[in-house]
Structure 1
Amino acid sequence: MTNLSLNHFSIRSLEIEKTTQFYADVLGFTVGPRPEFPFPGVWMYNGDESDWANAVLHLIAIDKNDPNGLKQYLGDRDPSSLYGSGAVDHIAFFAKGLEAKLAHLKKLGITCRERSVPVLKLHQLFLDDPNGIVIELNYPAAEKAVLDAKGA
């Protein structure tokens, strides 16, 4: 067993505003402090914004007029490779409040794929962010059972 847990994930985005809005609206992340780097970006927090450890998502914007800061700091990437998950298949979170999330996604017009994994006692939602990255939300299977009993 290791002492590892998810610290943050980074996304290089050609659609920084849409991506920021997606993670704020869908997952409830908030925009918070970010160190000054030689390229634009946004850090999004899950929790107290005064604690850097809560900056779970680092969005990296590409300044099309001056991409050199990013190239020198993180290296160059072909913009055509920035759609979809690339080598990353998905990013997963444990979650609670399945009924409320499903209602929220419907209100936002965001479709999701659902799957139950009985052996793990999980009900999963899979959705795509504006960059084509798959987000997996894992809810207790008991929450799905309550919805099924209600006929929802």
Structure 2
Amino acid sequence: MILGMNHFTVIVEDRQKTLDYYCGLLGLKEGPRPDLGFPGAWLYADGQVQAVLHMYFDRPVPEKRAGLIDHMAFTARGLKAVKARFDQSGTKYELRQQAGAGTWQLFSHDPSGAKVELDFDASESP
């Protein structure tokens, strides 16, 4: 019945820092978003017509965070370049290679605290 993941939605504490993280550091692009009656942004992966990440800016982050989702993960490419951008920006991350499959996994947190995983093919090298 499920065909795939549509999008994640994050509550944003600092609009510009969060857009800098997802667009500047991770390479997503801000794109079309209908007028939903509140401020926000929809972010798109390269070449995709459907937004993969929705965010809104008008609500405070609840004291008690909602849900049990541990992290969101994106398939990525260009490990060396991405790692260099993280190093240059001073953004903390953890890089590890998955046992068995060899997939490279880069974990970090966005400015509001959401955990983000970038998965790179095992053939790439850091």
Fold conserved (TM > 0.5)?
yes
Match of 1:105 in 2: 86
SS at match of 1:124: strand
Aligned mates of 1:141, 1:9 — CA distance in 2: 26
- C-alpha distance after superposition, 1:74-95 (max 9, x if no partner): xxxx63235xx85210101111
What is the deviation of 1:48?
Answer: 4.6
Go from structure 1 to structure 2 and tell me whether the alpha carbon gap of 1:7 and 1:41 turns closer, same or farther (over 3 Å shift). Answer: same
SS at match of 1:28: coil
Pair 1:62 & 2:43 matched: no
Go from structure 1 to structure 2 and tell me whether the alpha carbon gap of 1:137 and 1:63 turns closer, same or farther (over 3 Å shift). Answer: closer
Match of 1:22 in 2: 21
Aligned mates of 2:74, 2:53 — CA distance in 1: 12
Runs of 4+ in 1 over 2 A off after TM superposition: none
Contact 2:39/2:56 (<8 A) preserved: yes
Aligned mates of 1:15, 1:23 — CA distance in 2: 12
SS at match of 2:123: helix
- C-alpha distance after superposition, 1:40-99 (max 9, x if no partner): 1111111358x3x1x1111111167xxxxxxxxxxxxx63235xx852101011112111
1:1-152 alignment, distance < 5 Å: 3-48=2-47, 51=49, 53=50, 55-62=51-58, 79-82=62-65, 86-144=67-125, 147=126
Contact 2:103/2:120 (<8 A) preserved: yes
- Which amino acid is 1:140 matched to? D
- The answer to which structure, 1 or 2, has the higher relative contact order (CA under 8 A, 6+ apart) is 2
Gaps of 5+ in 1: 65-77, 148-152
Q: More helix per residue: 1 or 2?
A: 1
Q: Normalising by structure 1, what TM-score?
A: 0.73
Q: Normalising by structure 2, what TM-score?
A: 0.86
